[in-house]
Structure 1
Amino acid sequence: MEAIETQSFYGDTLAVWRSKIFQELQHGILLSVKEPHKMPQRIMGPTQFWAEFHKQAEALAVARQHDNSNDVLGTFVYQNENGHRIFVVAHPEVYWWYYSQKSPECRCSYEVIPDGAPVKLYFDLEFLIDQNPNHNGHRMTKTITEIFCAYLTKLWGCPCNESNVLSLDSTTREKFSRHLIFCIKEVAFKNNIQAGKFVKSVCKDITNYVDSGFKGSDVLDFFDRKNLKELFIKTSENRKLFIDTSVYSRNRHFRIYKSTKWGKQSHLVLSPHSKYISAEECKDKDLGIFLDSLISYFPTKTNLILLELDEKNVTDIEMYIKRSSQLTPPQESTVKSKYPCVDKFISNIVKPGRIRLSTYFESTKKISYEIIGNRYCDNIGRPHKSNNIYLIVDLHKKLWYQKCHDEDCTGFMSKPKKLPEEIAFQLEDESDEILSSIDNFDLPFTNE
């Protein structure tokens, strides 16, 4: 009996069916064949919250609504098999769990950097290799890293080096491409607009320094002028620095670790030249890199120091303190309050530490003093290892007491102490009807 060929028996239907199955497997959407493993729940693990949206505004609103000190949610966007973008609100660990199970060619995903959110300093460095054949991308990246570390130290006294900088690479034969994320513990920029302002300011310094041909910069004088000139690349239009300064726009989409652009095979992976050392140990190395690479993800914002530049490029810093929307916003946040006698008293108490920031609350007639250099906490009877303290002065009751930002000390308030009589006497002149009518309550600072 003559054997019948498969093609003759089934006709063209088999070929079409095989092609369809192959395509679906390639795109990782045939759930009946490859069902993603469900993330196991842990008692102390992240929330399993997951929500998808077609509109970015809806996703960001839900992320803000559900975000709290225990579950810091992120907003991500991915492209499906049709190229359409879907927005996801989830805890970063949960998002990574499902994202990492996708086939490599389907990992087309981005972090949405929310407008106004604190961010790490980040860079997108790239140039076309054919147009810049003599440029050494690794050397250029190293120069950029060292320059910005030097500026951070100069402007804010924030020491950092290559071990604080996570370097991700997606270089191809056509284009050199790196992402740099500065992971400095408890330090961030107030938002990505401020981060962009800082980057553009330094870029302007570099351009003026190289173009002028003169020395005189207390940062750039330490760098080889040849290496500084190499930072400028040729494009189809002009000559410019190889830093992409367009990535600091509001609600920016920034490609995440191991992701590729749609239709391309240029995955963002750990650079072989990266000298980054994570401050937090993670059993899953890839998960650790992913979490560290996120621009707007901070597991806790309690002690986060926010950097910014004002309109005249003058540096400033403040602490991130998330308050309930019912609280009256502070009237003034400066190093010195409008009560110099109180400032001097607090300064003497916290020595060798000092006042980093004072915030005056008009509705309660209280001053909050953020302290650095002295972390002694009455609750534990010793200094905290990493969390700072703050002192509250109640101008109405003429009392002062200590609180701190450590999660273990949530709700703690030291035993109130009276202000010295000479200070209380000076404050009597400030009393008025409004001051005397203030209710007897303490401002509920939150540790979020």
Structure 2
Amino acid sequence: MSRRSDPYKTTLELDSEDSFNDSVHLNDSWFYGPPKKKQVVANDARENMSPSPIRCRRASLVEKSFGELETFPKQRLALAKLAEHAKVFKNTRVFSFEMPGHSDGERRYLVSTLERFWLWYSSIQERHLYELITESTPCRLYFDLEYSKETNRDIDHEIVYRHFMENLQRLLKSEFDLETDPFKDFLVLDSSTKSKFSAHVICHLPGDIVFPSNTSMRPFCTLLADALLENSPVKIWNSDATRETVLFDSAVYSKNRNFRLFLSSKLGKNTVLKLAPYCSFYGSRKPSDQQIFYDSLCVPANAHKLPQLQIPECNHWEPPRSKEFAASVPKLEEGSGRSPYPQLDEFMLMVWRKWNQSVYIRQWKSMSNTGNDEERVTGIIYYPANCRYCFNIGRQHKSNGTFWIVNFERNDFCQKCFDPECRGVSSNLFPLPSFIADSLHKKDCEGANSEAKHAVTPFDEDDVASFFDESYTELNEFFTQWDDIFEQ
């Protein structure tokens, strides 16, 4: 495909009202990093600018007719823009990309229409972008196939692949009465390497039928996984050869999931997702890259106009609950950013900063029980951003996130994660410092009969700093012991 020329190139200009803190319009210079001299100018301008988006001064009329193209530092900002933009442009989407030179897993988000995005995406050289499969959005059935070639050296790939396709075809018929032909209806993209088989399968079901959302696929995928394990002709082992697994990753059906795009590679890698040589979706036709791009999207163009399978939404799967909360959890409070427990928030951030200084609280969910006409908070679940360290594997997960459970009754905390290989496994229970535990129970006593019990306390940096200054000795002892854990 020939590269697009000047009409689709943009120039980034700054003025005194521009800011990187809201949204920025994306061009190649910003995406891949400007020269050092320009970076200094951008940094100086950033310190003196009031909040207002940067605008593309030379966007063509053709580009403008397809809608805006903006980037955001946070997912919630991108989703808010999506809701606003979609009122005018129905095929507005959110895409994401990892930032070169930033901490592992840190992302930026891009909001644009499919048409505008393709004009830009097809004109750039390096691509490391992902489709964000937004919550409760109709989408095609999709799969992320993978296995380690190093721990499965004697595996017969043809048998494993055919076994997956045959069971998928059979279950689509038995569960939904859908007749499919894996060779004609399933688009396959491949990015395999010498050490790993990796492919995406996008299912084009009869009549363009889609699932109500990606989370609604979970029950079906559970049935498929059970079927694959039950009558497997060949065993597939996980990456460290400790457990039998299946060909597809069951962790990719979470809310607001990132799924790598056609023609993109992972940041720092060279292997891109291309049309698999063994894919016969197009028959003898030779599709354009644009055609493959649209056909490979999990959320297709005009998704809300397509017929949907009538299946219930599966929202009970997330978050996974620890056994201590399983007995009775009638009420759930949740939010993003700071929780109602600022001292605990700051303490947990201190813990996570061992792995990443830029960590922050993406989401929290408090758990409570009701008894004797009183509601009692029993714990809180934190979902940190930019921290994926897992005690089970002794390192950070590459893609799946972690969550941390703080138990107010036992005064301890532990780490779990969403990776299928770690499901049901948690870290050891770590005791909370006594001054942190005291602050939790003090808040519960003060708010036991108040509607404001779950309200997020306005964050006062000085108050929190003073709180930790008063407990410096105990805090220092805790983190000395915390560091010793990793030296053993």
TM-score normalised to the size of structure 1?
0.52
Per-residue deviation at 1:39? 6.2
Q: Measure, in 2, the Cα distance between the counterparts of 1:26 and 1:60.
A: 20
Q: Measure, in 2, the Cα distance between the counterparts of 1:29 and 1:152.
A: 49
Q: Specify the alignment match of 2:200 in structure 1.
A: 179
SS at structure 1 position matched to 2:304 = coil
Is 1:137–1:176's contact at 8 Å kept on the other side of the alignment? no
Structure with bigger RCO (C-alpha 8 Å, 6+ apart): 1
Classify 1:75/1:27 alpha carbon distance in 2 versus 1 (closer, same or farther; 3 Å): closer
Per-residue deviation at 1:38? 5.8
Residue identity over aligned pairs, in percent, reads 25
Q: Measure, in 2, the Cα distance between the counterparts of 1:26 and 1:89.
A: 14
Tell whether 2:239 aligns with 1:235.
yes
Q: Specify the alignment match of 1:136 in structure 2.
A: 156
SS at structure 2 position matched to 1:74 = strand
Q: Specify the alignment match of 2:302 in structure 1.
A: 299
SS at structure 2 position matched to 1:64 = helix
Q: Measure, in 2, the Cα distance between the counterparts of 1:231 and 1:296.
A: 32
SS at structure 2 position matched to 1:110 = strand
Of residues 161, 164, 171, the one that matches 2:185 is: 164
Q: Specify the alignment match of 1:63 in structure 2.
A: 82
Q: Specify the alignment match of 1:412 in structure 2.
A: none
Q: Specify the alignment match of 2:121 in structure 1.
A: 99
Q: Specify the alignment match of 1:260 in structure 2.
A: 265
Q: Measure, in 2, the Cα distance between the counterparts of 1:160 and 1:187.
A: 12
Classify 1:59/1:238 alpha carbon distance in 2 versus 1 (closer, same or farther; 3 Å): same
Q: Specify the alignment match of 1:200 in structure 2.
A: 222
Code of the residue aligned with 2:308 in structure 1: it is: I
Is 1:56–1:87's contact at 8 Å kept on the other side of the alignment? yes
Q: Deviations over 1:54-113 (max 9, x none)?
A: 11011112212222585311100123433452201111222122122222xx31111111
Per-residue deviation at 1:308? 2.2
Classify 1:288/1:46 alpha carbon distance in 2 versus 1 (closer, same or farther; 3 Å): farther
Q: Measure, in 1, the Cα distance between the counterparts of 2:77 and 2:236.
A: 40
Q: Measure, in 2, the Cα distance between the counterparts of 1:127 and 1:113.
A: 23
Tell whether 2:69 aligns with 1:50.
yes
Is 1:41–1:48's contact at 8 Å kept on the other side of the alignment? no
SS at structure 2 position matched to 1:188 = coil
Per-residue deviation at 1:155? 1.5
Is 1:231–1:242's contact at 8 Å kept on the other side of the alignment? no
CA RMSD, 1 decimal: 3.4
Q: Specify the alignment match of 1:79 in structure 2.
A: 98
Which ranges of structure 1 fall in alignment gaps of 5 or more residues? 1-23, 211-227, 312-448
Structure with larger Rg: 1
Q: Measure, in 2, the Cα distance between the counterparts of 1:53 and 1:176.
A: 33
Q: Measure, in 1, the Cα distance between the counterparts of 2:197 and 2:275.
A: 14
SS at structure 1 position matched to 2:62 = coil
SS at structure 2 position matched to 1:230 = coil
SS at structure 1 position matched to 2:309 = strand
Q: Deviations over 1:244-289 (max 9, x none)?
A: 10111111111111111111111111100001139xx9x9711111
Code of the residue aligned with 2:267 in structure 1: it is: W
SS at structure 2 position matched to 1:306 = coil
Q: Measure, in 1, the Cα distance between the counterparts of 2:88 and 2:309.
A: 18
Code of the residue aligned with 2:174 in structure 1: it is: K
SS at structure 2 position matched to 1:250 = coil
Code of the residue aligned with 1:179 in structure 2: it is: H
Q: Specify the alignment match of 2:288 in structure 1.
A: 285
Code of the residue aligned with 2:271 in structure 1: it is: S
Classify 1:284/1:180 alpha carbon distance in 2 versus 1 (closer, same or farther; 3 Å): closer
TM-score normalised to the size of structure 2?
0.48
Q: Deviations over 1:28-60 (max 9, x none)?
A: 856x9xx9x966628xx9722222111101111
Is 2:159–2:233's contact at 8 Å kept on the other side of the alignment? no
| Number of equivalenced pairs | 262
Is 1:60–1:75's contact at 8 Å kept on the other side of the alignment? yes
Q: Measure, in 2, the Cα distance between the counterparts of 1:302 and 1:25.
A: 35
